[in-house]
Amino acid sequence: MSRKRITTAVAVAAAVALSLAACGGPKATPGGGSSAGGATAEANAAVDKNFSPSTKKGGTLRMAISEAYDSTDPGDTYYGLSWNLVRTYVRPLMTFKATPGEEGGKPVPDLAEAPGVPSDGAKTWTYKIRKGIKFEDGTPVTSKDVKYGVARSLDKATLPSGPTYFNDFLLDVPEGFSVYKDKTLAGVAKAIETPDDQTIVFHLKKPFSSFDYFAQLPSTAPVPQAKDTGAKYKEHPMATGPYKFGSYDPNKGFDLVRNENYDASTDPDSGRNALPDKYTIAYNVEGTDIDNRLIAGDLDVDLAGTGVQPETQAKVLADPKLKAHTDNVPAPRLNFTVLNTEVPPLDNVHCRKAILYAADHEGYQRAYGGPIGGDIATNLMPPSVLGSQKFDDYGFEADKNGNVEKAKDELKQCGQPNGFAINIAFRGDRNKEKAVAETLQQSLKKAGITLTTKPYPTSDYTKLYAGKPDFAKTNKLGLIVYSWGADWNDGFGFLQQIVDSRTIRATGGNTNLGVRIPEVDQLIDKAMAETDETKRNQYWVDVDKKVMEQAGVLPGIWAKGLLYRPDTVANVFTNAGQNMYDYAGIGLK
Amino acid sequence: MTEPADNTVQGTVQRIERGEAFLDVRDLKVHFPTDDGVVKSVDGISFQLERGKTLGIVGESGSGKSVTSLSIMGLHKRGVAKISGQIFLDGQDLVSSTPEEVRLLRGKRMAMIFQDPLSAMHPFYTVGTQIVEAYRVHNKVSKQVARKHAIEMLDRVGIPQPDKRVDAYPHQFSGGMRQRAMIAMALSCDPDLLIADEPTTALDVTVQAQILDLIRDLQREFNSAVIIITHDLGVVAELADDIQVMYGGRAIEYGTAEDIFDNPQHPYTWGLLGSMPRIDRERTERLIPIKGTPPSLINVPKGCAFNPRCNYAHLNGGASETERPELLDIGAGHKVACHLSPKERQHAWETDIKPKL
Amino acid sequence: MFAYLVRRVIGAVILLFIVTAVTFAIFFLVPKLGGATADDLASRYVGKSAGAAQIHETAVRLGFTDPLYEQYGRFVKGLFVGQEYNYGPATEHCPAPCFGYSFLTQQPVWPDLVARIPVTASLAGGAAFIWLITGVGTGIISALKRGSVLDRSLMSVALAGVSLPIFFTGLLSLSIFSYGLGWTAQGGTNPLDETNPVWWAYDLILPWVTLAFLYAASYARLTRAGMLETMNEDFVRTARAKGLTERTVVMKHGLRSALTPILTIFGLDLGLLMGGAILTETTFSLPGIGQYAVIALRVNDLPKVLGVTLVAAFFIVLANLIVDLLYAVVDPRVRIS
């Protein structure tokens, strides 16, 4: 333990020396090469660019998170941090390239030789798998392992956590299909074909043009059927990436060590650097403690990647030396309020527009900590989403604190000149959402709209309360405060789950909390069938515009996270795929 | 020529400075300053007691009798109580001695028996342990020797099977046995002065007599001076040579037991005698309780402290309410503090009181 | 004596069952009264975008569709004979005492608890040692110097200790002694990973002191009040009348009695802490029972909640029993014949 103390002291001394240098000397430009400590800390130095580029291998990258995330099983995980980290130990068909800037948000071939080849109007997608890729035990990877990996992820009873895109899109998969009951995989015979060991063909029930994004899901990582241990597979997923599982403890965390059967020559496109010799991931470290350890240099990465705690944020922003180590990263996340069309008078578009005009946008931003927390959103898709366009049809930026006259005008057209009363739902244990509800309550009052605040517990918010249509309707939840982060950075990944009215299920558990616009649904279908990327992106912009025109939601802010970048790390940059530091690119000084 | 005279003078001075009797209490005052005023628990008490003799101090609760005994033992609240006067024990003034000097006397030369033997003994230690502790603090002997001594003491106070009972806990004893054990503990160091504070109040009537007999027998055996503190004249009747009656922190009558019982002079003493139960009289005629309640020790009534409760106060032409009567010798060491003239007192006693007793 | 023990143990077992039954009922009955169906409950344990069919499958897998008594019966059976668990390709036998599998991570609960109990025990035991010595010591000094400047300042510190929450004192001490001065270990280290007891203590010293401060404060106040009371007892006067030194009077006669009620509270406090020092473990990121409880409650993971509840209740019941037996040793009046 005294070792720890000495390293701490050295690190602190080094940090002080560095920051003193930063204050006194001229600004050093981040230099290339592999030398340690070549770059001077500067705020936002790792946003969309590589800070302290390095090719130096070795060292142990120490990561920590406040609680264990859903799963380390690539077929059973739905967390951005997990999709980021999983690339170090498995190789899906496609993956987000480990590189700074917009390029990092596009899937590139990983296990596959090239992007998928569509046919049959984007209902059939074919991938060729690279030769020479092996599992950690030396067995070669075949297309059958990929097929098995996707097939096993369909069993949501055993592997409940992952996304359901393959369940929703694959052709003719019987209800309740499970690889553990149907060991010959007869149920997915029509959906996934493997004509030879290097080829895999996916058949969809409806066209889907951005299938390469599906192909980057961790569940396309190969899994040997003989090694599948179901719910226990997470304890040791078979590695194909540069690292494999060393130890695993569900209560403490796990280690990743080098996989000697990984051949970098088979991996030319993904940008993986595989710099550290080892990763250690510690679970259940208290949030403030993580921040303190990052600042002290005793931890390298906050695995969650969503930013420091509010109390730490105040501290680091107040201290220029600490602020130089921060990156204010725009996330593909929108904090917004849904206007539920099922609750009168919000079935009338003018009453919805009145809310958009009356809302205090700066107040909304303040609720999330001001400009550090994010920029005022004027439409749905955050600028970081590929192909998105920013537009401001209601003049949010001109009338930051709302426009009462226009709101009253809309109320007249709605037939409610004196305003109306309605409820606003939010997650009671989230102080920021509470602040949103309160700022809206105040600003809407000026236009005559009376809001009653209705807090609900986070754990059951979408399942039993705001996300359950009949509950929302009976309880007059006209405004529903919510937040949404894209599964990935394109129009589909961001928009489909929150504005497609066909995703709304009466049983609850919805992510679309009340946007029901037929034209939007039609535009989504067109976008999903369009294989030309430029045209497809335009359709998604049209979806965004239509939702705004119909005032389906009140956009709040496009969120940003404040990440802390310790002096210990090198080759650090944010990845446009997950909008946090790229865990496949990062190294140590 | 001068030498014998000098000797005499010196001797007198010494007697005055070191006390005349074995226990010589002179003008003892114990006052407790509180937020409400000064509590004068004891306000000028003097008495003397020789070895082998027994003094009974009688009074209601709050009359100052317990505080008197505690201050002799040095057990009054130090730091809080203001104590003045002198207490000579075998020539040593306890008031001016250091706490440590008094501690060394406690248990060895003077010992005390308390009212409720159950609460006065530590519930967690065996009777034997507690006697051994009392013995060993003043005698440098081994535990075995002390234990033998403890068994001996228990035997002496009449506890059957003392070698077994020595290992029993206080709660396993009956009330009388506990008080016997308490006495054994108090006498374990052979003290010259034994103070018994209401030694029989918490006991059955049948046991009371046994305990009093025991105290008397042991006193003879050890030749110690004994102070019995009680509100019950019946107890002192059995034991005491002299009796001091206290009221409101002061002595109001002092005399031999015969004087107090056969020729009491103070109306308060009459009251006490009147409320003493006697088995040889009819119930209805007896028990003349003293009216009213004991005085507050912060605001002691002006004049004679007893005047609000006294049936004869009106006979003194206002002196009872204004002037405090001194404790005066009315002959042969019998002292009384009362404004009534000897004639009036004699008359009242002969006609009002005596026939009813 | 033996019969008494047997009676107490049987009573304790019954109590533990009541505790689990109540936990079970709160978990299932309360949402049910709110109108939630088995599928609604199961929807907590599926991924973000699961459909109705998947939710229902999960409900079946977790047994929510069975009647409540059957689910409880399964749980009880698991405790005594173990249970079979289907983890996908095969089933495995979870040996008794089987506390079931987490609804979310599908990990068996019992090994988790077994791994965490020593951490909590290290924390609670060390802290208890510190607070007993400092708290009782402070209380005695305060009582004997009643009304003095020393007494008043000690009691002010004690008041601060009682009033300041752990996460405040904990974070403050972490930032000063760990991150500022580097004297102590950071949070998040598992003291049981150390083989050398010195490092074990090094890892725990800050949590110990932080936790002990809270308790020492209340023990100081309790001891002070107890001492003031016993020092007025008749038997203390008797002890003085024997001519014992003041030191013997205080330590042997006064303290012995004053400590008896404190023993009871100490036993219960220790038992309570053995069930998880929630705030301390969270603040210092110690992987103990308390941290496990927080994780379990945050995500409504019933098997974990039940496990923690049972362990916590077990320690409280055990502490109660030990206190009662110890009481008989300390106080001969309650000795059972």
Q: Whose CA is closest to C257, among C234, C278, C275?
A: C234
The backbone region for B278, taken as left when phi is positive above 0, alpha when psi lies in -120 to 50, beta otherwise, is beta
pLDDT band of residue B18 (cuts 50, 70, 90) is low
**Mean pLDDT within A37-58:** 84
pLDDT band of residue B287 (cuts 50, 70, 90) is low
pLDDT band of residue A499 (cuts 50, 70, 90) is very high
Average pLDDT, chain C: 85
Query: C332: which chain B residues are within 8 Å (Cβ-Cβ)?
Result: 123-124, 169, 171
The per-residue pLDDT for range A171-208, each reduced to its tens digit, is 999 988 999 999 999 999 999 999 999 999 999 999 99
Distance CA A574, CA A418 (A): 49
Tokens at residue B103, please?
A: 């501690």
Q: What share of chain C is helix, strand, coil (3-state, %, to 5)?
A: 75, 5, 20
- CATH H-level, domain A330-561: superfamily: Dipeptide-binding Protein; Domain 3 (3.10.105.10)
Q: Whose CA is closest to B311, among B351, B283, B352, B279?
A: B352
B273: pLDDT strictly greater than 80 = yes
pLDDT for A440 = 95
Query: A289: which chain C residues are within 8 Å (Cβ-Cβ)?
Result: 174, 186-188, 283-285
Contact C89/A at CB under 8 A: yes
Contact A172/C at CB under 8 A: no
pLDDT for A13 = 41
Query: C84: which chain A residues are within 8 Å (Cβ-Cβ)?
Result: none
Contact C39/A at CB under 8 A: yes
Distance CA B71, CA B95 (A): 8
A442: pLDDT strictly greater than 50 = yes
Tell me the ipTM for this assembly: 0.83
pLDDT band of residue A577 (cuts 50, 70, 90) is confident
Greater confidence (B291 vs B148) lies with B148
Q: Which residue of A has its CA nearest to C200?
A: A1
Contact B108/C at CB under 8 A: yes
The per-residue pLDDT for range C168-210, each reduced to its tens digit, is 888 888 878 877 777 777 666 667 777 777 778 888 888 898 8
What CATH number does domain A59-306 carry, 3.40.1280.10, 3.40.50.2000, 3.30.43.10, 3.40.190.10?
3.40.190.10
Judge residue C84's burial from the number of C-beta atoms within 10 Å of its C-beta, 0-12 exposed, 13-18 middle, 19 or more buried.
exposed
pLDDT for A5 = 39
Query: B112: which chain C residues are within 8 Å (Cβ-Cβ)?
Result: 241
Q: Whose CA is closest to A13, among A42, A31, A46, A37?
A: A37
**Residue A333 main-chain phi, psi, to 5 deg:** -130, 135
Chain A interface mutation, best of C49, C193, C195, C279, highest count of A Cβ atoms under 10 Å: C49
By percentage, how much of chain A surpasses pLDDT 90? 68
Most confident range, picked from A446-460, C20-34, C156-170, C319-333: A446-460
Distance CA A25, CA A378 (A): 41
Cβ distance C214 to C124 under 8 Å? no
Q: What's B71-128 look like in SS3? A: HHHCCCCCCCCEEEEEEEECCEECCCCCHHHHHHHECCCEEEECCCHHHHCCCCCCHH
**Local structure of B246: helix, strand or coil:** strand
For A289, the closest of C31, C53, C188 (CB atoms) is C188
**Mean pLDDT within A203-224:** 94
Chain C interface mutation, best of B35, B69, B103, B187, highest count of C Cβ atoms under 10 Å: B103
Contact A459/C at CB under 8 A: yes
Do C and A touch, 3+ Cβ pairs within 8 Å? The answer is: yes
* B133/C238 Cβ within 8 A: no
Which residues contact residue C328 at a Cβ distance below 8 angstroms, ignoring those fewer than 6 apart? Answer: C334, C335, C336
- Sheet with B37-49: list strands edge to edge: B37-49, B23-34, B82-89, B92-93
Distance CA A217, CA A154 (A): 13
Contact A296/C at CB under 8 A: yes
The per-residue pLDDT for range B324-336, each reduced to its tens digit, is 888 888 888 889 9
- The lowest-confidence range among A26-30, C7-11, C63-67, C250-254 is A26-30
Give the global pTM.
Answer: 0.75
In chain C, the domains with their CATH numbers are 2-98 (no CATH), 110-336 (1.10.3720.10)
CA B17 to chain centre: 24
A19: pLDDT strictly greater than 50 = no
Distance CA A165, CA A153 (A): 10
Contact A229/C at CB under 8 A: yes
The DSSP code sequence of A276-304 is SSEEEEE----HHHHHHHHHHTS-SEETT
The per-residue pLDDT for range A314-332, each reduced to its tens digit, is 889 999 999 999 999 988 8
B221: pLDDT strictly greater than 70 = yes
Query: A176: which chain C residues are within 8 Å (Cβ-Cβ)?
Result: 53, 57
C330: pLDDT strictly greater than 90 = no
The backbone region for A74, taken as left when phi is positive above 0, alpha when psi lies in -120 to 50, beta otherwise, is alpha
By percentage, how much of chain C surpasses pLDDT 90? 9
Judge residue C294's burial from the number of C-beta atoms within 10 Å of its C-beta, 0-12 exposed, 13-18 middle, 19 or more buried.
middle
Residue A131: what residue type? K
Q: Which residue of A has its CA nearest to C45?
A: A160
Strand (E) positions, chain B?
23-34, 37-49, 54-58, 82-89, 92-93, 110-113, 193-197, 225-230, 242-247, 250-256, 328-329, 335-336
Chain C interface mutation, best of A178, A219, A427, A463, highest count of C Cβ atoms under 10 Å: A463
Report chain C residues touching chain B, CB-CB < 8 A.
Answer: 233-235, 237-246, 248, 253, 256-257, 330-333
Find the helix packing angle between C197-230 and C166-173, rounded to 10°: 140
Distance CA B171, CA B124 (A): 9
A18: pLDDT strictly greater than 90 = no
Contact B79/C at CB under 8 A: no
Q: Which residue of C has its CA nearest to B72?
A: C241
Q: Which helix (H) or strand (E) holds C143?
A: helix C109-144
Interface partners of chain B (CB pairs < 8 Å, 3 or more) are C
Q: Which residue of A has its CA nearest to C173?
A: A289
Judge residue C105's burial from the number of C-beta atoms within 10 Å of its C-beta, 0-12 exposed, 13-18 middle, 19 or more buried.
buried
Query: A251: which chain C residues are within 8 Å (Cβ-Cβ)?
Result: 112, 115-116, 287, 292
pLDDT band of residue A39 (cuts 50, 70, 90) is low
The domains of chain A are located at 59-306, 330-561
- The lowest-confidence range among A26-35, A278-287, B151-160, C239-248 is A26-35
- The lowest-confidence range among A114-118, A126-130, B45-49 is B45-49
Residues 58-97 of A with CB under 8 A from C: 64, 67-68, 70-71, 78
**Mean pLDDT within A285-289:** 84
* B232 strand-pairing partners: none
* C105/A158 Cβ within 8 A: no
Do B and A touch, 3+ Cβ pairs within 8 Å? The answer is: no
Q: Which residue of A has its CA nearest to C198?
A: A1
A122: pLDDT strictly greater than 80 = yes
* B73/C241 Cβ within 8 A: yes
Q: Which residue has the tokens 């109320």?
A: A411
Residue A64: what residue type? A
**Local structure of B226: helix, strand or coil:** strand
For B123, the closest of C239, C242, C331 (CB atoms) is C331
Q: Whose CA is closest to A460, among C104, C56, C31, C51?
A: C31
Q: Which residues of A323-333 are buried (b: 16+ CB within 10 A; e: fewer)?
A: bbbbbbbbbbb
For C233, the closest of B119, B134, B169 (CB atoms) is B119
Contact A302/C at CB under 8 A: no
Chain B interface mutation, best of C144, C146, C238, C256, highest count of B Cβ atoms under 10 Å: C238
**Mean pLDDT within C284-312:** 87
Q: How many residues does chain A have?
A: 589
* C88/A286 Cβ within 8 A: no
Q: Which residue has the tokens 């390469």?
A: A212
pLDDT for A419 = 92
**Residue A348 main-chain phi, psi, to 5 deg:** -95, 125
Query: A78: which chain C residues are within 8 Å (Cβ-Cβ)?
Result: 47-48
**Local structure of C172: helix, strand or coil:** helix
**Local structure of A138: helix, strand or coil:** coil
pLDDT for A17 = 39
Query: B121: which chain C residues are within 8 Å (Cβ-Cβ)?
Result: 235, 238
Interface partners of chain C (CB pairs < 8 Å, 3 or more) are A, B
